[in-house]
Chains A and B, each alone.
Chain A
Amino acid sequence: MTTPASQPIAAFSQRHEQALARIGDVLIPGNGSLPSYSESGAAALAPRALAGARPVDQVMMLRLISVVGALPRPLIALLLLCIRGGMRLPGIAGAPARLLDLALKGVVMNTYYCGLDRTAPDGDSAVFHALDFRLQMQVDDEDTK
């Protein structure tokens, strides 16, 4: 999907992509069959994933990715750990942690597990290969009339 130039997310740059990849690698370091987040190249999909978000949220996401992605890896890990702990706080006290979880874990999981990576040897999704996941759907012309 192309991102309209008027959207804030159009400002998603190489630097944002690298920053997001650093965050993603903390959440998805890879294990044997599953590629790491950066290996999957998923960060490049972020503008496509965020194209439907509200402009204010897009601006916030760009800032958040820049700031968090610039932290040293142990600090990113610590932050994510704090988020997981903070999410359990009830009511408005837990809101910041839950929103950060939605923003960071949300975009990482969305871009990685959507199966749009083409990093398997056969040019297919390495992530879906590792999950052994495939949905089948027979569509013929008769069906879509």
Chain B
Amino acid sequence: MKLSRYDYIIVGSGAGGGVLAFHLARAGKRVLMLEAGQRWQPRDYPDNELDASARLMWSGGVEPSQDASLMLMRGRTLGGGTVINQCLLDRFDDIALDDWAARSGLDSFSETAMGRHYDAVEADLSLQSIPESDWNGNARIYADGFDRLGYRRAPLRRGQSRCDVAGGNDCMRCLGGCPRASKQSTAATFLPRAEELGLEIITGCHIHGVVHGSAGVTVYGQVGREQVQFFAARCVLAAGTLGSSRILMNSGLGDALPALGKGFFCHPQFVTFARYAEPVDAHRGSFQALKSDDPRFRAAGFKLENVFMGPVAAAYLLPGGARAHQRLMRDYRHLACIEVAVRDVTPGRLSLSRGGQLRIHKSLGAPERKRAREGLKIIRDIYRVTGATEVAQAPTGIGLHLMGGCAQGLHRDSSVVNPEFAVHGMPRLHVVDGSLFPSAPGINPSLTIMALAHRAAEALLGGAQAPAGISRSVPADAAEVSA
């Protein structure tokens, strides 16, 4: 009886795994993808927030940090975070990449060097800027406030193909998976193309660990209650910051990799609601249409986001005692919302409890609190100049964009993954996801994770099979030599 030995096993199907799988499959490699979540037909995605949290997210919705100052969220479904995010796809600027270059020692972190990787993934996606005609009341308040106060704003660029907002569709539904397959999640883009090229996918597969050997990697975990293991010449962890770090730690690699789990970052977000006399209908249409584009904000380390959320999330975040809370909720259609998203600088740490449970040590440092305060002040100014009748600040911080823990860099003492995307000392084990980030960029990470996956594909495949149209940079066996 023959058991399969794949060229690659990819654990995780989000921005990193999805793009990488496509490029590896296109190069003719035999690839197995293991995903903890389930596969959904677009039209079957949950139509309510309760099921979306329970069935598309890890730990049933949110995971608190150890001091519960941040509620973290991550996707657990085929397509990973790209199914439940807003698919805002921005490139990083040199402010972010210069910091990465300094921390990692890699000069490949620059707008110029990343350019062709961004070009490549953007070419495979449908990207649209939200036109003013698609604005809802919340966007108009946001724009009005920015204009009155003299801050720069810009239209959002989103991965979407045919939302038909003019036809009355409400994109907020897509936070629980886009039923029109318009949002450019990997489940709607790279994964189906990769499957056509032979990618095999097993969903509902929870990975516990990996064993790196002299000729291949064994990946073990369970599907339901059945214990499983798979074999490949190489394994790529693309299970996200929390997932990839957990798998490496649970594999007993903490001693060999002193930087593992360190340098964990997110973008802490603080939501402020405002009530207006007239309905705002922030939930309608393109519920997020604009972004702050002010160099002063960037320099100060925050951005203001034009966001909204469904009744469950709004109810969880609205403050107050029962009656005040109920009153605000009853006026849900009159609520506007802006959040400040902070560029995190205080590194957190990931660890495992003795029982193997992931622990997220992440507290808000003084710099984050200061940045949040500055942003919140401007939000209140916006609400003031636009005539809000009441302002309500969420008591809980949300942690989105989970990054770091397996930083890429030159040295084992300060990084986990080498420039060729192999774990230090383990030439057949790779990490390709947001955990590679050496620091928090202050910009939505999805597109850059995809671009890094494209670069990783080049590194793994070597020049001969480099993704089409892209010149090569890394020799075939560089990963082996440097590891």
Contact = CB atoms under 8 A, between A and B. Distances in A.
Direct contact of A and B (CB under 8 A): yes
Interface of A: 1, 6, 26-31, 33-34, 45, 48-54, 56-57, 81, 84, 87-88, 90-92, 94-95, 98-99, 101-102, 105-106, 109-116, 127-128, 130-133, 135-139, 143-145
Given A131-B332, A138-B169, 17 more contacts: A31-B323, A34-B329, A34-B330, A51-B55, A52-B55, A52-B76, A53-B61, A84-B319, A90-B69, A94-B69, A95-B66, A98-B67, A106-B61, A110-B50, A130-B330, A132-B332, A143-B162
A118 to B, nearest CB: 12
B50 A133 contact: no
A99 B169 contact: no
Contact of B168 (A28, A50, A102, A138): A138
B167 interface: yes
Given A34-B330, A135-B173, A137-B169, A29 B322 contact: yes
Nearest to B332: A131
A137 B336 CA distance: 22
B180 A139 contact: yes
Contacts of A6: 225
A30 B50 CA distance: 20
Contacts of A49: 50, 53-54, 60
A113 B48 CA distance: 9
Contacts of B54: 1, 48-53
A36 B413 CA distance: 56
A131 to B, nearest CB: 5
A95 to B, nearest CB: 5
Contact of A56 (B42, B310, B357): B357
B59 interface: yes
B200 interface: no
A52 B168 contact: no
B71 A102 contact: yes
List the 8 closest pairs (A to B, CB-CB), nearest first.
A52-B60, A98-B68, A53-B60, A114-B50, A109-B315, A113-B311, A52-B54, A143-B180
B68 A113 contact: no
Contacts of A88: 395
> Interface size class for chain B?
35 or more
Given A91-B67, A102-B62, A144-B181, A138 B164 contact: yes
Interface in B293-335: 310-312, 314-316, 319, 321-323, 325-327, 329-330, 332-333
Residue of A27, A51, A113 contacting most chain B CB atoms (<10 Å): A113
Nearest to A33: B330
B108 interface: no
Nearest to A61: B60
B321 A81 contact: yes
**Main DSSP-derived SS at the A contact region:** helix
Contact of A143 (B62, B181, B225): B181
A110 B316 contact: yes
Contacts of B315: 109, 112-113
B363 interface: yes
Contacts of B312: 109-110, 113-114
Contacts of A145: 181
A102 to B, nearest CB: 6
Contacts of B325: 27
B411 interface: no
Nearest to A37: B322
A6 to B, nearest CB: 7
Nearest to A88: B395
B49 A113 contact: yes
A110 B49 contact: yes
Given A6-B225, A84-B395, A115-B311, A133 B67 contact: no
B332 A99 contact: no
A112 to B, nearest CB: 7
A90 B169 CA distance: 41
Contact of B64 (A33, A102, A110): A102
B472 to A, nearest CB: 35
B32 interface: no
A139 B169 CA distance: 9
Contacts of A28: 322, 326
Nearest to A141: B43
A20 to B, nearest CB: 14
Contacts of A99: 64, 68
Given A56-B357, A99-B68, A137-B170, A131 B329 contact: yes
A119 to B, nearest CB: 15
B42 A53 contact: no
A106 B319 CA distance: 13
Given A29-B322, A91-B69, A144-B180, A115 B48 contact: yes
